Structure formats: structure tokens, C-alpha cells
Amino acid sequence: MTETLKLTVESKTGDVAVIYTDGYINNQGGEEIARVAYELIDSGHKKLLLNLAKTKIVNSIGISILIEIIEKMLEIDGRLAFCSLTPTIEKTFNIMGLTQYAAIYSDEETALSNLG
């Protein structure tokens, strides 16, 4: 069964990397993002940006896994940020209290200039 989340990664200058999501962030999607994030951390990236432009729907189980990544980042003194959320996903992140631990930027450019 399908509707698998697709991920692409781009390393930016310094220790910044961007993960682009395309599709539904559910349980499996969240785990896939975590796998990629931990690989990026292992290869020396301390600042991760999740660009959700192509994700229109998420669920709370998927997002709970993103919270685990945030905790990991806090431990290693790194940062996880988000950009390009739909208004509803931003609202959901707010309701989940996630915005207190991770910055949310309107677009990638703004995010990178703040992270970099």
C-alpha cells in the first residue's frame, strides 16, 4: 500500500541541510524523516530545515516523531526549523506546542538567512 512520503535532501553552506517532503507525514513518513535527519546529524549537520511545501496533510503520530528529532537536536545543541507550511499545518504545529521548540519560517530563503 502506498502514498509514500518522498524525501529529497540538499546540503547547504556550513552545517545546514534542507529536507524536502512531498506527501503525507504519517507514522512511516515521520520515521523516514527521522532516519534521514539522523544520517545528516551523523555527517556533521547541526542545522536542519524541513521544507514542507509539498506536504498538505500530516497526522499527530507523524509529528510526534518530528518532536523526537527536535529533542535530539536540543541535546546536541543543533537546530531544527520548518518552512513553507500550509496555514492548517502551522495551526496544528501551534496546537501541538511545537512552535515553542522549533522556528517556523514562511519560506526557505528567510529560513536559511536565519539559520545560516
DSSP letter, residue 14:
T
**Whole-Å CA distances, 79 to 17, 46, 112:** 11, 6, 12
Helix (H) or strand (E) segment spanning residue 7? strand 6-11
Interaction of residue 6 with other proteins, rule CB under 8 A: no
Task: Rank residues 24 and 108 by Cβ distance to other proteins and give the closer one.
Answer: 24
Measuring CA to CA, which residue among 14, 12, 15 is closest to residue 73? Answer: 15
Member of 12, 96, 108, 114 binding other proteins (CB under 8 A):
96
Measured CA angle at 11 (ends 108, 47), to 5 deg: 70
Residues in contact with other proteins, shown as a per-residue x/- string from 56 to 95 under the rule CB under 8 A: xxxxxx-xx--xx-xx--------------xxxx-xx-xx
Per the rule left: phi > 0, alpha: psi between -120 and 50, beta: everything else, 80 is: beta
Binders of other proteins among residues 12 to 51 (CB under 8 A) are 24, 26
Task: Rank residues 8 and 64 by Cβ distance to other proteins and give the closer one.
Answer: 64
Task: Rank residues 70 and 112 by Cβ distance to other proteins and give the closer one.
Answer: 70
Interface residues with other proteins (CB under 8 A)?
1-3, 24, 26, 56-61, 63-64, 67-68, 70-71, 86-89, 91-92, 94-98, 100-101
